[in-house]
Structure 1
């Protein structure tokens, strides 16, 4: 579980590779996109409490598929090397259709982000799901606030 400290809705512009850039994101040879960047602090599990994390919500279009024969995860969590600005970094996929409601909810309601991980290894883990919350659910209070 992560406490959301700050967020931004960035515009990313780069020289595009039209072979891999989706058509809606192309303009005059440029690849552009709008990613959400969240700066947070780990609340739980307890052994990582207080560590900093940068989370990028990267929008994807309707052609992306999940499940059997397609993507198996919604993102990944990486442990960053010592001396980095953040101790963890996560990149999570966000449906394009959820961009407006995500911006509105981050600005008004959401205070916590919970990432469900699996396939944990020394460099990080895969993310199978994530959830935003305005408050900590009573069933998770002891876990999120354990000393």
Structure 2
């Protein structure tokens, strides 16, 4: 499937690596693309493996288990310290060239991850502040 701009929205899941030598980790978009600093960008969080041998490395705010998403085969966590904005054109090109699009996440998981962003001690403060109102859970 070829990804186009309208296919990139809240809950899109894709695998990404900074270079060809690194493992492609799962990333999940938390919002629809928006214009930031004169460029179309999308907010995404990193998903990585729980490391028993490095417990301080693990961000336990949101743990994912098999069954939460088809990609998840072992315990994983949202690595909020790596939360970042991606340029939309870069992501679309990469996903199409590398064939790294995964199934979207469901709305319940998306909400868990968004709330986790707001409470994680590891998330970038400027991103927490930017999304404080938008991602606040409704009661």
Q: Shorter chain as normaliser: what TM range?
A: under 0.3
| Structure with more of its chain in helix, by fraction | 2
| Structure with more of its chain in strand, by fraction | 1
Q: TM-score scaled to structure 2, two decimals? A: 0.28
